[in-house]
Amino acid sequence: MFEAKPWVKYYDYNVPHTIQFPKIPVQSLVHLAATMFPRKAATNIYGSTMTFRQIRSQMLRLSNALIKMGVKKGDRVGLALPNCPQYIVAYYAALSAGAIVVNMNPLYTHDELKFMMENSGLQTLFTFDTVLPVMRPLAKELGLKNVIITKVTDYIQGFPVSTAKSLDLEEGWKHFSELVESATDESMPRVNVTSEDPALIQFTGGTTGLPKGALLTHSNLIAGTLQGSLWGNSITTYIPHAQRAVIAAIPYFHIYGNTFSMNWGMFNAATQVMFPRFELEEFMAVLASVDEITYFPTVPTMVTAIVNHPKAAELDLGAKIRLLSTGGAPMPVELIQRVKDIGIFFNEGWGMSETASVGISIPILRHKAGSIGCPYPGNEVRLVDVETGLNDVKPGEPGEILIKGPTIMQEYWQNPEETANQLKDGWLSTGDIAQMDEDGYFYIVDRKKDMIIAGGFNIYPREVDEVLYQHPKIAEAVSAGVPDTYRGETVKAFIVLKPGVEATDKEIIAFCKEKLAPYKVPKLVEFRKELPKSAVGKILRKILRDEEIAKSKK
């Protein structure tokens, strides 16, 4: 009989085998940090800081203002913002009012955002000036009750603070800073929020091509925050809370940034060094200005860019960054070795929106090349037969990952069919195929779905295919993830044109840019006379992908 949970004996020496998860709502993390370190910087955006006490004060003001505006427990509040203090204040304020946050990438197109807004039924939206050309018509079309607008630079010293007038806001819309300023009630909202209440709708791609909203509870998010924090014990135990800092370069609207930068930052009373966007020169300049970083959650593309930068050596990264972890895509073995040679502790892991980004991770002191590691404390993982989804496979054999634990979503929002499909007796079917070795370390070997992971972002090729088929010159099309040294994978479109027409790759890419978020747009286009098909006429995406992988190995 194979040993149950063989991985536990390989946990780092001070990582607990079990965790007593506190039954508290997520906003309690702000109150804890503000009480313990009231004057410490909670956020640092290009040198402008806000203390934990100031974050708490603005959170309470905004929360009470939302309640006055009619936001009730269970209402959905949309956040379409980049990383900035306003996101943090709005996120915890909405939760304090008992609302459910709906995370949205502000750079999504009209159609993508419309689906998320309609599906979640949100009536309150926080967003910012740069995306108003998309948000204005959307808000009118959907008849949103409350729209609150900010400008990212409003919280950066040295820049003038915008106003409702300067942003030319619609009548009835609110300006973020003016709303917080005019709200004076800093009492704790009299809303009973329990740990089992829903907290966040995190959209993720679906097998049908349409996104699904993973509904995560306060309990899920608190569990993920504690699992992620305690996993780093072997490093963070040496760093006093007063000195802790975390880099917030992964967007908060992505579950990875939400759990591992923002909530991790609050729980650890760490200063969040924020980047509204990842621009390399800007990033290196900020990194030069900070003394030390406790934790840097990132993706391989960022790591590649940073360690290869001309200033990397003079910044002495090994003396600046204590722990770096990656997710979203496999980290090349040579790059892992390079990070370790610099003197930075490293780990990588696997998680999903449906698991609050927390699932399996490499023990920091006992790394195994190519592995995603072991399940976090409190998680159970099985590998089951890929075809039937029923029987557990033997050690060393590939099987689909099923995971059960405290971070597993409650359901897919208003999608009972997909919920029943993916969740059975608390076990989540992940669609990822892995093998487990004799120590209980897991290795991803394939994807059941055809998902593309480019630069840490999940892209569902069917969504790209549907846009390609809208082009008037295209007869047949299919997209696939092809190897890319920088992004891990990139999107390539394979196209058969209609008879008698001509088109260029630039034309196809420009068409896609109008209908897809930038990271989903194909970077490569190949025109073919025909596409490989099965006996029943289905285009064989896997054959095209395999051809590209073979080319990359030559």
How far apart (Å, rounded) are the C-alpha atoms in residues 354 and 107? 22
Confidence of residue 206 (pLDDT cuts 50, 70, 90): very low
What are the two backbone dihedrals, phi and then psi, of residue 50, each rounded to the nearest 5 degrees?
-130, 140
* Residue 2, CA atoms < 13 Å, CB-side half-sphere: 14
**Token pair belonging to 21:** 């998860």
Q: Residue 544 falls within a domain, yes or no?
A: yes
How far apart (Å, rounded) are the C-alpha atoms in residues 122 and 112? 14
Q: Residue 151 falls within a domain, yes or no?
A: yes
Q: What is the pLDDT of residues 150-203, one digit of tens each?
A: 999 999 999 999 999 999 999 999 999 999 999 999 999 999 999 999 999 999
- Domain limits for position 110: 52-193
Q: Where are the alpha helices (DSSP H) in 2-51?
A: 28-36
Q: Does 279 or 207 have the greater pLDDT score?
A: 279
What are the two backbone dihedrals, phi and then psi, of residue 143, each rounded to the nearest 5 degrees?
65, 40
Mean pLDDT within 360-371: 92
The pLDDT value recorded for residue 115 is 95
User: Of 158, 193, 228, which residue is a domain's last?
Assistant: 193
Q: What is the pLDDT of residues 493-550, one digit of tens each?
A: 999 998 899 999 999 999 999 999 999 999 999 999 998 875 445 678 888 988 988 8
Among residues of the chain, what percentage have pLDDT more than 70? 97
User: Of 145, 164, 193, which residue is a domain's last?
Assistant: 193
Mean pLDDT within 254-277: 97
How far apart (Å, rounded) are the C-alpha atoms in residues 9 and 4? 11
How far apart (Å, rounded) are the C-alpha atoms in residues 345 and 321? 8
Amino acid, res. 386: V
The pLDDT value recorded for residue 448 is 67
Query: How many separate domains does the chain show?
Result: 2
pLDDT at 1 over 50: no
pLDDT at 205 over 70: no
How far apart (Å, rounded) are the C-alpha atoms in residues 344 and 336? 10
pTM: 0.85
Mean pLDDT within 58-66: 98
Residue for token pair 């409350």 = 146
List of residues 6+ apart from 38 with CB closer than 8 A:
51, 52, 53
Q: State the CATH number of the domain containing residue 59.
A: 3.40.50.980
Q: Does 217 or 308 have the greater pLDDT score?
A: 217
Q: State the CATH number of the domain containing residue 527.
A: 3.30.300.30
Categorise residue 427: left if φ over 0, alpha if ψ from -120 to 50, beta otherwise: beta
What are the two backbone dihedrals, phi and then psi, of residue 458, each rounded to the nearest 5 degrees?
-85, 130
Write out the H or E segment, with its range, that includes residue 286.
Answer: helix 280-289
When the pLDDT of each residue in the chain is averaged and rounded to a whole number, the result is 92
Q: Residue 392 falls within a domain, yes or no?
A: no
Write out the H or E segment, with its range, that includes residue 44.
Answer: strand 41-45
Q: What is the pLDDT of residues 290-322, one digit of tens each?
A: 999 999 999 887 888 899 899 999 999 999 999
Amino acid, res. 216: L
Cβ–Cβ < 8 Å for 77, 67: no
Q: Residue 189 falls within a domain, yes or no?
A: yes
Confidence of residue 358 (pLDDT cuts 50, 70, 90): very high
C-alpha 88 chain-centroid distance: 15
Amino acid, res. 166: S
Mean pLDDT within 212-234: 97
Q: Residue 291 falls within a domain, yes or no?
A: no
User: Of 193, 215, 230, which residue is a domain's last?
Assistant: 193
Q: Residue 498 falls within a domain, yes or no?
A: yes
Categorise residue 362: left if φ over 0, alpha if ψ from -120 to 50, beta otherwise: beta
Q: Residue 370 falls within a domain, yes or no?
A: no
Mean pLDDT within 42-51: 97
Q: Residue 236 falls within a domain, yes or no?
A: no
How far apart (Å, rounded) are the C-alpha atoms in residues 152 and 180? 15
Lowest mean pLDDT among 68-72, 423-427, 533-537: 533-537
Q: What is the pLDDT of residues 448-502, one digit of tens each?
A: 667 788 888 878 787 788 889 889 999 889 999 998 888 888 999 999 998 899 9
